[in-house]
Amino acid sequence: MDQTVDILACGAHPDDIEIGMGATIASYIEKGFTCGFLTLTKAELSSNGTVEIRQKEASCAADILGVKQRYQLNIPDRGLNSIQPNQLKEIVSIIRLTKPRLIFMPEEDRHPDHGACGSIMREAIFNAGIRRYESEGTIHKVSGSYRYFINGFSKPDFVIDVGSVYEKKQQALQAYASQFAPVDGVRTPLTDDYIESIQARDRIFGKEVGIQLAEGFKTEKPLLMSNLLEGCGS
């Protein structure tokens, strides 16, 4: 079975990707590109919900966005800073088997797992291009890698217009009811108008470039531009 995708979006926990770039994923899929999700932990230490419930929610959210391939690893929650060689090799294998052109990962913020996920993915991307690094699949070099925001709020290097597909992001986030609207749950940062705060951030990113809604990203290296005047009018 062909596992290749155009984009591989990676997160430390189920819901990370949807929070940071769910609408961007929906936008690319609407344009005919293929996207896969790679989640490193099952978030078993979360205050609300269970692993089983969270996995069902993750599947539902992926379906809403149109994601067909979802890879769920079992690295211990809060254990990303002590990742083992065999676990890193599994991530490299997924990169080599899916052969994405672009990979997205979290930007560092208040949750240590998010920054650790980004560091792991940068290492895995590098290893995937080493001919003598042994893993499943064949050598693959990613064209570009970018970081999305989860809890953080800083100036993005670029933004993507997501106004036409933003409702899908809202629906995908709402699929995680155990996290954002738990019944008889405990109060966490996610239960305190979190979805509304994410939408506010996306509105601010959009306002910066004169559109309604945008998701922001940081780059690993400078973007190559051929014509800065394109789209500026006469």
Q: Which residue has the tokens 């932990």?
A: 41
> Which domains are delineated in the chain?
7-219 (3.40.50.10320)
127: nearest Cα among 163, 161, 156, 92: 92
Of all helices (H) and strands (E), which one includes residue 98? helix 85-98
Whole-model pTM?
A: 0.95
Return per-residue pLDDT of the chain as tens, 234 residues: 679 999 999 999 999 999 999 999 999 999 999 999 999 999 999 999 999 999 999 999 999 999 989 999 999 999 999 999 999 999 999 999 999 999 999 999 999 999 999 999 999 999 999 999 999 999 999 999 999 999 988 899 999 999 999 999 999 999 999 999 998 889 898 888 999 999 999 999 999 999 999 999 999 899 888 888 876 654
